[in-house]
Amino acid sequence: MKRVRHIRPTVASTLLPGLLFFALSLSACQQEGGPAQDSPPPIVEVMTVTTQTVTDEPEFIGKTEAFRPVEIRSQVTGVIKQVFFTEGRNVKKGARLYLIDPVPFKGDYLSAKAKVTQAQARLVQANQDLARVKPLLDEQAVSQKDVHDAVAEQLAAKAALEAAQGDLVKSRFDLGNTLITAPVNGRIGRSRFYEGHLVSAQTDLLTTIDQLDPMYVNVSVPETYLLRRRRELAEHKVQRPSLFQLRAVMTFADGSVYPHEGQLDFADVGLRAETGTLQGRFVFPNPEGGFSPGRSYFYPGQFVRIRLKGYIRTDAVLIPQRAVQQGPTGTFVNVVGPEDKIEVREVQASSWKGSDWLIEAGLQPGERVVVEGFHRIQPGVQVNPVPFQNEESGSEVPSHENPQSADTIQETP
């Protein structure tokens, strides 16, 4: 009897029919659906670069200062007898402040006055003696030496009178300065000495008076800003009036804006070597400086922000802030080229103007910049550009330098 041999199926023989069926099905699907079509170019919103004239108003950090900080010191050495003023209040020019005990100074004055009278009497006698001996010399009744002695006595009497008169002036000055008065209108500070204290002439500081109307604000101008501004003025990118016609708007720490504008009235003649800055000073009116304490807008020693007004930037390029992006090498924008293909362009964005960036370099008028649709593009991709619909108008918003910009955080005129 013959033995029947069974053949075991292999893996290849099992999968082959399935692969053939999948290939036939895929071929049939491609024949039914036809050839695959390319996706349309992505739509992006673009704006055309134009130039315009805008204000250039950088911001600086400033510190307020009294218009006239006056130090009150005694002109004489003596003991304070009375203090007339109330500390921290406003005083008028000529108001009494201190009284130094006048008794010893009055005694010196009377003594000096008496010496003047004595010297005058001596001079009268010397003149009479000289007038008496001169005729006698012609009659040889007196010697030539007697005449010379009379002339010398007259000169000595004159000198003694002048010395006595000088002592009288000094004593009158000291007596008058025992009463110390306010030299200016302003607000007086704390007294450092009171009744019974001995003060030294021209040495001890008694108190200070700050004249608060007007007020100064001092700012520091970095050398880099001065050089850049000079270059922009030479290239006619920026225009400005006369230097001392520049105006300023002041903003306090709480964000409130001072209602009066200031004006530049001083610029230092040289840079400070330790900081590399030039000092500028603005003067602001302060009509409330004469009011009672607590009603003034600002005080000496405050830190404020100063926005400079007067510069105008011509042919400025402004694009929306959303169009400017940050890359590893700096800021850049996406530009739509002549064939509607995306190009990456590095730009120099220096400051904010409302909701726009001011572009210093990198863009030319007529170029198209992508504002919306960044997630659908990459360099070299062809796009379908449409005009950007700007819902916010940044041209009507007061402009100022970007406070986060390293080049403009402390700029001055």
Whether 304 and 356 map to the same domain: the answer is no
Whether 93 and 159 map to the same domain: the answer is no
Residue 381's domain comprises 44-56+313-396
Whether 193 and 234 map to the same domain: the answer is no
Q: Is residue 37 part of a domain?
A: no
Write down the pLDDT at residue 148: 86
Assess whether pLDDT exceeds 70 at residue 189.
Answer: yes
Distance separating alpha carbons of residues 217 and 261, to the nearest angstrom: 12
Mean pLDDT over the full length of the chain: 83
- Given CA atoms 118, 119, 120, 124 in this order, what sign does their dihedral have? positive
Assess whether pLDDT exceeds 80 at residue 187.
Answer: yes
> Residue 109 is which amino acid?
Y
Whether 79 and 201 map to the same domain: the answer is yes
Distance separating alpha carbons of residues 346 and 361, to the nearest angstrom: 9
Whether 203 and 288 map to the same domain: the answer is no
- Report yes or no: 44 and 384 within 8 Å, Cβ to Cβ: yes
- Report yes or no: 67 and 282 within 8 Å, Cβ to Cβ: no
Beta strands in 84-228 (DSSP E): 90-91, 96-100, 179-181, 186-188, 198-199, 205-222
Return the CA Rg of the chain. 45
Which whole-number Å values give the CA distances from 45 to 11, 234, 323, 392, in the listed order? 58, 37, 10, 15
User: Which of 153-157, 171-175, 221-225, 348-352 is predicted with the least confidence, judged by mean pLDDT?
Assistant: 348-352
Decide which of 282, 311, 340 is a domain's last residue: 311
Whether 189 and 172 map to the same domain: the answer is no
Number of domains in the chain: 4
Assess whether pLDDT exceeds 90 at residue 353.
Answer: no
CATH no. for residue 186? 2.40.50.100
The number of angstroms, rounded, from the C-alpha of 68 to the middle of its chain's C-alpha atoms is 18
DSSP letter at 257 equals B
Whether 83 and 129 map to the same domain: the answer is no
- Name the band, by pLDDT with cuts 50, 70 and 90, for residue 391: low
Beta strands in 366-406 (DSSP E): 368-372, 384-387
Q: What average pLDDT score do residues 337-356 get?
A: 85
Whether 191 and 286 map to the same domain: the answer is no
CATH no. for residue 142? 1.10.287.470
Decide which of 192, 208, 224 is a domain's last residue: 208
DSSP letter at 403 equals T
Whether 172 and 83 map to the same domain: the answer is no
Decide which of 286, 311, 336 is a domain's last residue: 311
User: Which of 19-33, 148-162, 169-183, 383-397 is predicted with the least confidence, judged by mean pLDDT?
Assistant: 19-33
User: Which of 36-45, 199-208, 248-257, 333-342 is predicted with the least confidence, judged by mean pLDDT?
Assistant: 36-45
Distance, first Cα to last Cα, the chain: 119
Whether 110 and 93 map to the same domain: the answer is no
Q: Is residue 122 part of a domain?
A: yes
Whether 217 and 307 map to the same domain: the answer is yes
CB neighbour burial string for 68-105, b if at least 16 within 10 angstroms, e if fewer:
beeebebebebebeebebeeeebbeeeeebbbbbbebb
Give me the residues paired with residue 43 across strands: 384
Supply the pTM of this predicted model.
Answer: 0.68
User: Which of 57-61, 79-83, 194-198, 390-394 is predicted with the least confidence, judged by mean pLDDT?
Assistant: 390-394
Q: Is residue 33 part of a domain?
A: no
